[in-house]
Chains A and B, each alone.
Chain A
Amino acid sequence: MSYKCSRCKRDVQLDEYGGVRCPYCGHRVLLKERSRDVKEVDVN
């Protein structure tokens, strides 16, 4: 789950062949989702 189609709001996995395109609706605008891992931040 690394991208989300901006038109149909479905999760999209990109591979090296498909190019930047939603496999469900063909929309070319994809949004990158925040990664699931815990992010450590220093306060300064």
Chain B
Amino acid sequence: MSAEYDVEFVEREDRDARFLVQGITPAFANGIRRAMLADVPTMAIDTVRFVENSSVMFDEQLALRLGLVPLTTPPVGEFVEDDTVTLSIDVEGPATAYSGDLVSSDDLVQPADENVPIIDLKDGQRLEAEADAVLDRGKDHAKHQGGVAVGYRHLQRVAAVEDLPEFEEPDRRIVRGVIEEDGELVPTSEFDHDLSNRYPGQEVTLEDVPNSFVFHVETDGSFSVEELVTRAADTIESRATELENAVQL
């Protein structure tokens, strides 16, 4: 891969970001996307010990729900695979048990959201359980996916070529993603994804910019987008190193 590449953020929030990467091959872009989905380890509940469950649901169903609760993942090096963190929950009806009711034994591993409903408990029903969270990868179970809704599109370059003939009804020209307009990046949501709104009465050309990809990345709350992308790149690097060492005699 060429060493020269360039990253520019279009939108940036903690859990949701859109950024442009220029100068990478489609293969590398897809590698990053796949690594974000499947290769970045995150914490998730893996075993649950039920002390009391008089709710209307089976233990196994509740265990699955608890497993799908996103947990914050500690910084690299704090944990290794097979380390466990215990979380406990004790809710008595009438009430709804939420992910926020989970009490963790480690400050670094907490439910990422407080408001994920687990089960609605009626009068006299009670849920008391203890759960072990482990570090694992999206490859092994979807509950360990740090990146949800991860994808990329080519950056598209727009140029107005000529005016449309007078009185001609303009056709809608739907584009999604981010366009480049004289070097400026414009998300298509700014003009309702319709180029005829931005260039009324003009004929426009649209072309993919080679080796420029606009990533849209959303995390489940385990960590920030920056953290997800850098960890994904690190996993690619470590696997590449592993391969390099394996083929050397």
Whether A associates with B in a native complex is yes
Instruction: Give the interface of A toward B (CB within 8 A).
Output: 34, 38-44
Interface membership of B225, Cβ < 8 A: no
Q: With CB as the reference atom, state the residue of chain B lying closest to A37.
A: B51
Instruction: Give the interface of B toward A (CB within 8 A).
Output: 44-51, 53-54, 59-60, 63-64, 66-67, 141, 143
B46 to chain A, nearest CB (A): 5
Cross-interface CB contact of B143 among A38, A40, A41, A43, cutoff 8 Å: A43
Q: Flag if B63 contacts A42 (CB, 8 Å).
A: yes
Q: How many A-B residue pairs have CB under 8 A?
A: 34
A32 to chain B, nearest CB (A): 14
Rounded to whole angstroms, the CA-CA distance of A42 and B49 in the bound complex is 9
Q: Flag if A39 contacts B59 (CB, 8 Å).
A: yes
Rounded to whole angstroms, the CA-CA distance of A42 and B131 in the bound complex is 10
* Interface pairs (25), CB distance under 8 Å: A34-B53, A34-B54, A38-B49, A38-B50, A38-B51, A39-B49, A39-B59, A40-B48, A40-B50, A41-B49, A41-B59, A41-B63, A42-B46, A42-B47, A42-B63, A43-B44, A43-B45, A43-B46, A43-B47, A43-B48, A43-B63, A43-B64, A43-B66, A43-B67, A44-B141
Rounded to whole angstroms, the CA-CA distance of A41 and B67 in the bound complex is 11
Residues in A whose Cβ lies below 8 Å from that of B64: 43
Rounded to whole angstroms, the CA-CA distance of A42 and B51 in the bound complex is 15
B233 to chain A, nearest CB (A): 29
Residues in B whose Cβ lies below 8 Å from that of A40: 47-50
Rounded to whole angstroms, the CA-CA distance of A39 and B53 in the bound complex is 10
B209 to chain A, nearest CB (A): 44
Q: Flag if B45 contacts A41 (CB, 8 Å).
A: no
Cβ-closest 6 pairs across A and B:
A43-B67, A41-B63, A39-B50, A40-B49, A43-B63, A41-B48
Q: Flag if A41 contacts B47 (CB, 8 Å).
A: yes
Cross-interface CB contact of B60 among A34, A38, A41, cutoff 8 Å: A41
Residues in B whose Cβ lies below 8 Å from that of A34: 53-54
Residues in B whose Cβ lies below 8 Å from that of A41: 47-50, 59-60, 63
Rounded to whole angstroms, the CA-CA distance of A31 and B45 in the bound complex is 33
Rounded to whole angstroms, the CA-CA distance of A43 and B43 in the bound complex is 13
A4 to chain B, nearest CB (A): 13
Q: With CB as the reference atom, state the residue of chain B lying closest to A43.
A: B67
Q: With CB as the reference atom, state the residue of chain B lying closest to A41.
A: B63
| Further pairs besides A34-B54, A41-B49, A42-B46: 14, Cβ < 8 Å | A34-B53, A38-B49, A39-B59, A40-B47, A40-B49, A41-B48, A41-B50, A42-B47, A43-B44, A43-B46, A43-B48, A43-B64, A43-B67, A44-B141
